[in-house]
Amino acid sequence: MFEQFMKKEGFVIAIGTMVLYAATYFFERGYCLELGIPLDYIQITIPTIANDFIYFYLFLLPIAFISTSIMLRAEDKTNKKLHSIAQLLCGLIYAVLLFYYVEKTLQSAFFCLLMGGLYSVLISSRTDFKTSDSPLKHFYSTLTLAAIALFILSLTFIAIGRSLAENGSFQTYSKDGKSYLLLKVYGEDVFMRELKNDKPKGDLIYFNTKDMTGMALKKNN
């Protein structure tokens, strides 16, 4: 089944593109939720995708390559040990890589194991249908798998986005004797928070890029 899926090059490329955009959106959503930025301002653009690649697309690449390698080897039923634990192994790798990105707590560990378990269920699901199967059954099964995949993808990258926002480093700007922490930029929309005693306090401040004229970038010590 896995080999047949990989032979459909156009389908694989389309799925990859969808995953790319969906991962970026959910990452940005988690990032904004953590910082209190209104979700309506999220923009998925080429610069946004390129910027986010630095942070978390290295999570997708190992998962894709390792899972593909394991599942292709597991198709050979002569290797009974690998065939029996392939899905579990893929799920464990998913959980470990996810845990690397999120906060190192017991709650996060359980969350990562849950996501790894769901990922294991997803890749072990069979989509082979008999000619006697109805189109409705085919549609229902495909829709179920898509829903599981979207659920895993959304929670995974929301968690990564929140974690990176919480532990990230931000540039500091000054204007009129006040210091501001630059949280996020979407096009001409800029979100900052005022610094008091070197700590971000107060409400979220919105700027248009035109309003930043005269602001000076402060070097972090």
Q: How far is CA 182 from CA 33, 142, 173, 209, 210, in A?
A: 16, 43, 7, 12, 15
CA distance 111 to 181: 31
Produce one character per residue of 103-121: b if its CB has 16 or more CB atoms within 10 Å, e if not.
eeeeebeebbbebbbbbbe
pLDDT less than 70: residues of the chain: 1-12, 56, 76-83, 126-134, 212-221
Radius of gyration for the chain, computed over Cα atoms and rounded to the nearest angstrom: 22
Following DSSP, what letter does each residue of 20-34 receive, concatenated?
Answer: HHHHHHHHHHHHHHH
The 10s digit of each residue's pLDDT in 74-105 is 776 666 666 678 888 899 999 999 999 898 89
CA distance 165 to 204: 15
Domain edges within the chain: 2-167, 172-218
Structure tokens at 19: 């995953």
CA distance 13 to 199: 45
The 10s digit of each residue's pLDDT in 190-210 is 898 888 777 777 778 888 877
HSE, side-chain direction, 13 A CA sphere, residue 90: 25
Residue-level pLDDT at 83: 66
